[in-house]
Chains A and B, each alone.
Chain A
């Protein structure tokens, strides 16, 4: 059954931190809530933990109303962004805290508490640090103590607030993998909040994309990356870059090129947004084909090449990403003019409030073939 979140609303004065948020989480699932700061993701977390109450909406766990339980009895483990470890307690005391504060009838015996603390510290690989104080630990170790402390109360839901936000880049990558494995071995329902796209896509079973208090899209990392549902999701996750374009009947006109458009209804549509992903901008093999672009910059990042391109008719420079190997064959230098093709475009039709009413992805005619390296023929030339 899992967690059923339904139509949550939370208002701070004029600012809507949560605006009609609904979400269901299956037992044992690992869900990421992804959004920029101020998107309402932390509000959602605090409401689930019982540290805040929504203005409207409900949260049920296996049919039981969670909102009527106060934070103390909710059995929700929360790992704070800055861990909130008790500085005056050792690692072991921190982890034991949740067991020691139980009413005496439910409190395990001292030996049992010690046993479960030892077991938890072993699991987070900190057995030898039991007697240390939080101030004597590194950031990654503190994070694992906070995790062990939250797990000690055997929560039925684990919440992580920006779990890697306060860590170095290298530690962050290692801990991500570790946490993913850790979740797999525990199987505990977990919700974590992050503003880092890579983190969410790499770790979660499902990603919830939030913006301005609203859920923009829910789906697997692959679904969201491949088929972003809104312009925001496209920009934020698939790094979609806006292109000027307009729809005429069943065709889309972009930078003088005409694309065929299927299943795109213009009812209620106020504005049209056309996005292209960096990896969908590819260099043409022969000169004189495709669009002319000036190469502004080239950056080589871990096996791929990121190019800044100035294309006539597009205000902001476009970013393209190619594999180092493909680029090697082309070999243009900064300042050169090259010809490019768009391999795929995503188009959104939105109403006045920014809600998406129509959405379509278009590909060049023969892009469906598995090895599509171009050159593409235009449907009609300018």
Chain B
């Protein structure tokens, strides 16, 4: 342990014996916290998933309900993530290139979904789009079902992941200013040309980063989706909802499905790390 610890901060030349001990114990304590709080649960997922062997694992994943859940999760993400990608770009464009009344309010609204409980978010959607909600009668008359159906899942997912891309882009575009866009304008470029040839190439990594986080959250969202889905097995069960239902019936099968999501998480974190390593300067790493 001692040899693995090398301090970057060396105040007053060689650290004394007591400082070295203090540092080592600090690092040790932090490692303990991380292992206990983060590593153990992660290991537990995979251990439980394979407790009854690989064959059982495969069977659990390949049962029709699980496959339907995977398909639904991918569908929801495939709709919600592009919606949020465009939303992030549009919001960042508005927030960074123009001065207008109510700009601060708009910024606060973009951030709002982060601090609202997902369960409350789902409930609010029911109050609007549910059978007895504001638009319920109108939607029913037009043969549209939102709650307990795909559109509801998408709406809930969009709500929960709304700020991800925008929050990544706004600080970056703010720091880059409008000068390059103005230069392109005086050179005769049109709006889309400016966007695709000047703005987009400069924010692409931050955009990818935001989309990555957005996607991870979209596929893993539980609370908001739980409320609006009605969890009809094979119909409106996304992967996390499937995990929840299996948990009461077949413990190991639940972990088998959960391990898929855990794998997605590990993959996401890996790519995230790679992006931070290669393009760290452009990325905002706070939530």
Q: A41-55: which residues lie under 8 A (CB-CB) from chain B?
A: 49-51
Q: B168-223: which residues lie under 8 A (CB-CB) from chain A?
A: 179-180, 182-190, 193, 197-198, 201-202
CA of A102 to CA of B187, assembled, Å: 9
User: Within the complex, which residue of B180, B189, B193, B201 is in contact with A84, where a contact is CB–CB below 8 Å?
Assistant: B180
User: Within the complex, which residue of A82, A88, A149 is in contact with B187, where a contact is CB–CB below 8 Å?
Assistant: A149
- Check if B202 sits within 8 Å of A72, measured CB to CB: no
- Check if B185 sits within 8 Å of A72, measured CB to CB: yes
User: Within the complex, which residue of A50, A87, A88 is in contact with B186, where a contact is CB–CB below 8 Å?
Assistant: A50
CA of A97 to CA of B189, assembled, Å: 8
- Check if B183 sits within 8 Å of A78, measured CB to CB: yes
Residue from the set B187, B189, B201 with the largest chain A CB neighbour count within 10 Å: B187
- Check if A101 sits within 8 Å of B188, measured CB to CB: yes
User: Within the complex, which residue of A78, A101, A150 is in contact with B189, where a contact is CB–CB below 8 Å?
Assistant: A101
Determine if A74 is an interface residue (Cβ-Cβ < 8 Å).
Answer: yes
Q: State the Cβ distance, B128 to closest chain A Cβ, in Å.
A: 41
Residue from the set B179, B182, B186, B190 with the largest chain A CB neighbour count within 10 Å: B186
With A72-B185, A88-B202 in contact, do A101 and B179 touch (Cβ < 8 Å)? no
Which residues on the A side are within 8 Å of B188 (C-beta)? 72-73, 98, 101-102, 153
Which residues on the B side are within 8 Å of A77 (C-beta)? 186
Determine if A376 is an interface residue (Cβ-Cβ < 8 Å).
Answer: no
Residue from the set A73, A74, A86 with the largest chain B CB neighbour count within 10 Å: A86
Which residues on the B side are within 8 Å of A97 (C-beta)? 184, 187, 189, 197
Determine if A33 is an interface residue (Cβ-Cβ < 8 Å).
Answer: no
- Check if A80 sits within 8 Å of B189, measured CB to CB: no
With A86-B198, A88-B202 in contact, do A101 and B187 touch (Cβ < 8 Å)? yes
Q: State the Cβ distance, A86 to closest chain B Cβ, in Å.
A: 6
Residue from the set A50, A85, A88, A152 with the largest chain B CB neighbour count within 10 Å: A88
Number of A residues with CB within 8 Å of any CB on chain B: 25
8 closest cross-chain pairs (CB), A and B = A98-B187, A101-B189, A84-B183, A84-B179, A88-B201, A78-B186, A71-B185, A101-B193
Taken residue by residue from 203 to 231, chain A's Cβ proximity to chain B (1 for < 8 Å, 0 otherwise) reads as 00000000000000000000000000000
- Check if B202 sits within 8 Å of A153, measured CB to CB: no
Number of B residues with CB within 8 Å of any CB on chain A: 16
With A51-B182, A71-B185 in contact, do A101 and B190 touch (Cβ < 8 Å)? yes
- Check if A76 sits within 8 Å of B189, measured CB to CB: no
Which residues on the B side are within 8 Å of A101 (C-beta)? 184, 187-190, 193, 197
CA of A152 to CA of B202, assembled, Å: 23
Residue from the set A76, A77, A80 with the largest chain B CB neighbour count within 10 Å: A80
Which residues on the B side are within 8 Å of A153 (C-beta)? 187-188
A51-B185, A51-B186 provided; 7 other pairs, C-beta below 8 A? A49-B186, A71-B186, A84-B180, A86-B183, A101-B188, A102-B188, A152-B187
CA of A101 to CA of B182, assembled, Å: 14
- Check if B179 sits within 8 Å of A82, measured CB to CB: yes
List the A residue with the shortest CB-CB distance to B176.
Answer: A87
Q: State the Cβ distance, A242 to closest chain B Cβ, in Å.
A: 39
Q: State the Cβ distance, A108 to closest chain B Cβ, in Å.
A: 13
Taken residue by residue from 79 to 95, chain A's Cβ proximity to chain B (1 for < 8 Å, 0 otherwise) reads as 01010111110000000
Q: A20-58: which residues lie under 8 A (CB-CB) from chain B?
A: 49-51
List the A residue with the shortest CB-CB distance to B200.
Answer: A88
Q: State the Cβ distance, A241 to closest chain B Cβ, in Å.
A: 39
List the B residue with the shortest CB-CB distance to A152.
Answer: B187
User: Within the complex, which residue of A50, A71, A80 is in contact with B179, where a contact is CB–CB below 8 Å?
Assistant: A80
CA of A101 to CA of B181, assembled, Å: 13
Q: State the Cβ distance, A191 to closest chain B Cβ, in Å.
A: 14
List the B residue with the shortest CB-CB distance to A73.
Answer: B188
Q: A273-328: which residues lie under 8 A (CB-CB) from chain B?
A: none
Q: State the Cβ distance, A246 to closest chain B Cβ, in Å.
A: 49
Which residues on the B side are within 8 Å of A73 (C-beta)? 188
Q: State the Cβ distance, B198 to closest chain A Cβ, in Å.
A: 6
CA of A74 to CA of B182, assembled, Å: 13
- Check if A72 sits within 8 Å of B198, measured CB to CB: no
Which residues on the A side are within 8 Å of B182 (C-beta)? 51, 71, 78, 80, 84
Which residues on the A side are within 8 Å of B184 (C-beta)? 86, 97, 101
Q: State the Cβ distance, A107 to closest chain B Cβ, in Å.
A: 10
List the B residue with the shortest CB-CB distance to A106.
Answer: B188
Residue from the set A82, A84, A149 with the largest chain B CB neighbour count within 10 Å: A84
User: Within the complex, which residue of A49, A50, A86 is in contact with B180, where a contact is CB–CB below 8 Å?
Assistant: A86
| Pairs A–B under 8 Å by Cβ, sample size 11 | A72-B185, A80-B179, A80-B183, A84-B182, A86-B184, A88-B201, A97-B184, A98-B187, A101-B187, A101-B188, A152-B187
Q: State the Cβ distance, B143 to closest chain A Cβ, in Å.
A: 44
- Check if B190 sits within 8 Å of A72, measured CB to CB: yes
Which residues on the B side are within 8 Å of A88 (C-beta)? 201-202
Q: State the Cβ distance, B84 to closest chain A Cβ, in Å.
A: 24
With A80-B179, A82-B179, A84-B179 in contact, do A74 and B186 touch (Cβ < 8 Å)? yes
CA of A85 to CA of B198, assembled, Å: 10
Which residues on the B side are within 8 Å of A78 (C-beta)? 182-183, 186
Which residues on the A side are within 8 Å of B186 (C-beta)? 49-51, 71-72, 74, 76-78, 150
Which residues on the A side are within 8 Å of B185 (C-beta)? 50-51, 71-72
Q: State the Cβ distance, B279 to closest chain A Cβ, in Å.
A: 12
Which residues on the A side are within 8 Å of B183 (C-beta)? 78, 80, 84-86, 149
Which residues on the A side are within 8 Å of B190 (C-beta)? 72, 101
Which residues on the B side are within 8 Å of A49 (C-beta)? 186
Which residues on the B side are within 8 Å of A150 (C-beta)? 186-187
Which residues on the A side are within 8 Å of B202 (C-beta)? 87-88
